[in-house]
Structure 1
Amino acid sequence: MKTHSTLTRMLHKVLLITCLGAAAAGVQAAEDYSSFLRPAEIPQPDNNRITTARTELGKMLFFDPRLSGSNWISCGTCHNPALGWSDGLPTAIGHGMGVLGRATPTILNTAYQPLQFWDGRARTLEKQALGPIKAAGEMNQDLDEVIKELSVLKGYRDAFEDAYPGEGITKKTLAKAIATYERTIVSTESPFDRWVKGETHAMSKTAQQGFEVFLGKGRCVLCHGGFNFTDNGFHNLGLKGDDDPGRYGIRKVKILKGAFKTPTLRDVELTAPYMHNGMYKTLEEVIDHYNRGGDTKDNLDPNMQPLHLNASEKAGLVAFMKALTGEPAPVTLPRLPVE
């Protein structure tokens, strides 16, 4: 009896230690993945806090084609909410149907990015907002002309006064309003988010295995980490036949030659084609590129190395990235002022 009692107590201790170890592992896992959780607030500058009036004004401006020289291109033409806030084209089409050299990046979660555009040339959304409007190849509009056109419309005068009392319709308030609306374009909850929060079955087993590859053998997390799945850095990925200088055109540092900003992976399933020049049509093609370690070695980022992923591991990565797609957020087009 004594021996039996002793064995029973020993078994209880073993089970207790096992349970405590499992619980600790669960807590550790939650801590490990906490960096992927959404920040509590949307980043915003003190001089342009998000308000309903500013958001609504920015939304009108974002979808108003009168901000272009031809009166038919709006910000929303290239950043279409139905296409992941991009346009589904290899490279953008601008003024006069001209084909541009770079793909239209999604503006989803740009509020969380410290630098804007593929080459990071704008440090704030306010500085970014006016660039495409005045660019000859994009919207080809004179900003002074925009201000004149908006100022004769009572609907816009009232909206600007509500959003920025006493500041009037200026280039500055124009930029601030568009930037405010863009800050509200954020990703919604995805299966991955629910899984991180503890919903065990929110993400498929294949996707979970893909996440393990993402963190480990695939080395994806080296550049695609955090809530927005980007390091906000610039990397040369070794794309074949690409002579675009990228970030090097802004900063003449050798390692930045041919380097482009790491895009978010949030809703990446919706933003094909991929890369800054739109050369890959599918996520599978993108993964194959990384698996090869890139195609050209001139100034290649040091992290670009052959991965030796098998078919199952590559399929897991695709499943995981698709698990980053959030629920569709309803977007209603604004009524634009006509007088």
Structure 2
Amino acid sequence: MRIIGLLLLIFLLAACGQDEKKAEKPADKPAVESPATEETAEPDMDTSSYEAVPAMAHPADNPSSPEKVALGKMLYFDPRLSGDNSISCATCHHPDKGWGDGQPRAIGFGGKELGRHSPTVINSGYFAVQFWDGRAPSLEEQAKGPIQAPGEMNQNPEELVKELNAIPEYKEQFGKVFGESGITLDNIAKAIAAFERTVVSTNSPYDKYMAGDKSAMSASAVSGMNLFFGKAMCVVCHNGPVFTDSGFHNIGVKQQGPLKEDLGRFNVTKDPADKGAFKTPGLRSVSLSPPYMHDGSEATLKDVVDFYNRGGDVAENRSGVITPLGLNDQEVLDLVEFLKALEGEPLKVSMPALPGMTDANEK
């Protein structure tokens, strides 16, 4: 902890007291593939500072149960949650695409391109707030947003409740899980959130390495780890067990997509200091969910590392901690390899059978 604390202090002083603002530190491209050994690579960081992913906490008003998770899984994959029965949660957050959609920006109702990249669901249960701008304080509140948003799923909550109540299997399952309250928008969101909290990335090569298996990461990845916690200063914003400070930072992204300008966190707080600031994403299994940034403007992890290495692209309101890193080509590749080493065990999920769904109305 001494080294990380000293690095944070030095970097904060260098920022002249400005808010720290940053996002990802990924990359993409294999470098040296030889396993790390005591002779080839050693961590410079204090390994006692390592934090494993903790057990998932559940809200007091939404305790988890196998039945609730199973119900949430069905709802997550059910396109009938959208106004025209064509879009499910999984449309933009699919297990086969790193729990994102693989697109620079989400495609919403009617095939319209939206302004932001679909964030991955992986480890979202650990985040303090949800959405790129942090406008939802919980997964439950987040789940209700896209369902009702005209540009996203465009569903009328009252119509949705009626539609699900007309499906005997859903009515029965909601009764078992929620009792007399049955099918409501709040209970739909609670079930989906319970399922999403099971989407956890852990036991990565990094975790195995830190547990003592020095063959778990390549020498290049170990060098990248040293850069992550040292020279590259990724740890300033990407820290803790899921590699996020849960803060909001303007990192100097040049806006791409249909929006000419995206003010990010400012839209929630109205604080001028938050203009262009977005939530720090977690980095576990980050290699599975390209592209990157709030607007999907960086195609690969290497592109992201290159972005940070040059100190971002837009100076206006940019965080003082975003400055050129001075990484050479090999250091960039090493950092990429470390980010790949954060990929946890497979998070594959099978498509559930959907109640009352026939081949004719299945999307």
Query: TM-score by structure 1 length?
Result: 0.89
C-alpha distance in 2 between matches for 1:66 and 1:296? 41
Indicate conservation of the 8 Å contact 1:188/1:328, yes or no.
no
User: RMSD of the TM alignment (CA)?
Assistant: 1.5
> Is residue 305 of structure 2 the alignment partner of residue 287 of structure 1?
yes
- Using the TM superposition, give the Cα deviation of residue 253 of structure 1 relative to its aligned residue in structure 2, in angstroms: 1.2
Note the 1:121-200 alignment, pairs <5 A.
Answer: 121-200=135-214
Which residue of the other structure, out of 251, 258, 267, is the alignment partner of 1:249?
Answer: 267
Q: Residue 42 of structure 1 contacts residue 183 of structure 1 at CA under 8 Å; is this kept in 2?
A: yes
Range 215-224 or range 172-181, more displaced: 172-181
> Deviations for 1:299-330, whole angstroms, at most 9, x for unmatched residues?
00111011101111111100000001122133
2:132 pairs, out of 99, 102, 118, with 118
Tell me the alpha carbon deviations over residues 145-192 of structure 1, each in whole angstroms, 9 at most, x when there is no partner: 000000011100111112112221111111111111111111132111
Structure 1: gaps spanning 5 or more residues = 1-24
Q: Hey, what does 2:361 align to over in structure 1?
A: none
Compare the two structures and name the one with the higher helix fraction: 1
Counterpart CA distance in 2 for 1:107 and 1:328 is 14
Match of 1:70 among 71, 84, 99: 84
| 1:1-339 pair list within 5 angstroms | 29-33=46-50, 35=51, 37-39=52-54, 41-241=55-255, 243-338=261-356
**Larger RCO (alpha carbons 8 Å, 6+ apart):** 2
The 3-state SS of whatever aligns with 2:118 is coil
CA drift of 1:288 comes to 1.0
> Counterpart amino acid of 1:206?
S
Equivalent residue of 2:308, what SS?
helix
Are the structure 2 counterparts of residues 139 and 193 from structure 1 closer, same or farther at C-alpha, using a change threshold of 3 Å?
Answer: same
User: SS in structure 2 opposite 1:314?
Assistant: helix
| Partner Cα distance (2:344, 2:159) in 1 | 39
What's the offset of the Cα at 1:72? Answer: 1.1
Q: What is the deviation of 1:280? A: 0.8
Count how many residue pairs are aligned between Structure 1 and Structure 2: 311
SS at match of 2:191: helix
Gaps of 5+ in 2: 1-41, 358-363
Which one-letter code corresponds to 2:189 in the other structure?
A
The answer for the alignment partner of 2:29 in structure 1 is none
For normalisation by structure 2, the TM-score amounts to: 0.83
Residue of structure 2 in register with 1:16 after alignment: none
Counterparts of 2:288 and 2:138 in 1: how far apart (Å)? 25
Q: Distance in 1 between matches of 2:49 and 2:157?
A: 48
1:241 Cα offset (Å): 4.1
Larger radius of gyration: 1
Residue-by-residue CA offset, 1:216-251 (whole Å, 9 max, x unaligned): 110000001111111111011111246200000001
How far apart are the structure 2 equivalents of 1:55 and 1:236?
Answer: 36
Q: Structure 1 stretches (4+) deviating beyond 4 angstroms?
A: none
Distance 2:347 2:185 in 1: 30
Distance 2:135 2:198 in 1: 22
